[in-house]
DNA sequence: CGACCGATCGTCT
DNA sequence: GACGATCGGTCGA
């Protein structure tokens, strides 16, 4: 009798070395194609990362840590890489970021879209949606909602088993993604133009207009 | 299809 | 007291 395949057996959690690298832009590119996973009370939901944005710390006007700003909210950005930074946007949406680089260097990467892989039924329940469509995990607010992530998870260690990122051998090649300006950061002057958003080409989960 | 707008509240000034 | 690293609905062309 054939065992049902468990694809998650092939997943390998990313290590602290991945997160602690100095170039947040490079890490943002490499997160494309990786798998973002949450496991709450044994319930797994996961999806492949399709869109990211790099926030380059104290010199980036679009970053919450611009100018070395330290507040209760942004404190976790100053942790050593490999923790979650989650904050509330517009009073409604919880946005999930990956903190990178070393301690006291507040780099972060916003996960803006994933392609659902595991636990779609649970994601539908969390988002109160009736059927799977592109809006389930398109856009950063939707990603966090579908995966059950909220501001209480800010500061959680991504090397543990509650929220983590894994690789499964799937590779996004250089020709398969594009860099663009970031979304919703017009207030940050010339830094709004930096090509720090990375999207997988021709992937319908990339945020923006629906087709 | 695009432009606009309301929701909703923690955070910072 | 003002304002978001957003979303989804509505309205008009």
Domains, chain A, ranges and CATH?
8-200 (3.10.300.10)
Helix (H) or strand (E) run with residue A12 in it:
strand A12-13
pLDDT at residue A191 tops 80: yes
pLDDT at residue A96 tops 60: yes
Q: Is the CB of A130 under 7 A from strand B?
A: no
Q: Are A206 and A50 in contact (CB under 8 A)?
A: yes
Structure tokens at A4: 């049902």
Q: For residue A200, what pLDDT is reported?
A: 97
Confidence grade of residue A209 (pLDDT, cut at 50, 70, 90): confident
CA of A109 to C1' of B8 (A): 25
CA of A114 to C1' of C3 (A): 28
In angstroms, rounded to a whole number, what is the distance separating the alpha carbons of residues A166 and A176?
A: 20
Structure tokens at A195: 């090509």
Backbone angle region of A118, left / alpha / beta, with phi > 0 → left and psi within -120 to 50 → alpha: beta
Q: Which nucleotides of C are covered by protein (CB under 7 A)?
A: 4-8
pLDDT at residue A175 tops 90: yes
In this structure, the number of other CB atoms found within 10 A of the CB of residue A171 comes to 10
In this predicted model, which residue has the larger pLDDT, A84 or A211? A84
Q: Which nucleotides of B are covered by protein (CB under 7 A)?
A: 1-2, 7-13
CA of A49 to C1' of B12 (A): 32
Confidence grade of residue A208 (pLDDT, cut at 50, 70, 90): confident
Q: Are A97 and A86 in contact (CB under 8 A)?
A: yes
Q: Is the CB of A187 under 7 A from strand B?
A: no
Phi, psi of A179 (to 5 degrees): -105, 140
Q: In this prediction, what percent of chain A has a pLDDT beyond 90? A: 92
């Amino acid at each position: 009798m054939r065992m049902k395949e468990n694809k998650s057996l092939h997943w390998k959690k990313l290590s602290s070395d991945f997160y602690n690298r100095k170039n947040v832009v490079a890490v943002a590119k490499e997160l494309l194609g990786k798998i973002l996973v949450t496991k709450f009370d044994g319930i797994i939901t996961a999806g492949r990362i399709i869109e990211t944005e790099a926030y380059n710390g104290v010199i980036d006007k679009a970053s919450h840590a611009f100018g070395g700003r330290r507040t209760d909210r942004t404190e976790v950005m100053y942790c050593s890489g490999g923790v979650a930074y989650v904050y509330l946007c517009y009073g409604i949406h919880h946005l999930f970021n990956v903190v990178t680089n070393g301690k006291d260097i507040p780099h972060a990467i916003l996960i803006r879209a994933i392609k659902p892989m595991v636990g779609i039924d649970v994601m539908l329940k969390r988002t109160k949606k009736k059927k799977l469509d592109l809006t389930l995990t398109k856009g950063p607010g939707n990603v966090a909602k579908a995966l059950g992530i909220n501001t209480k998870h800010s500061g959680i260690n991504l090397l543990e088993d509650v929220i983590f990122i894994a690789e499964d051998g799937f590779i996004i090649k250089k020709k398969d993604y594009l860099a663009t300006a970031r979304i919703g950061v017009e207030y940050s002057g010339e830094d709004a133009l930096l090509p720090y958003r990375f999207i997988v080409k021709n992937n319908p989960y990339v945020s923006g207009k629906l087709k």
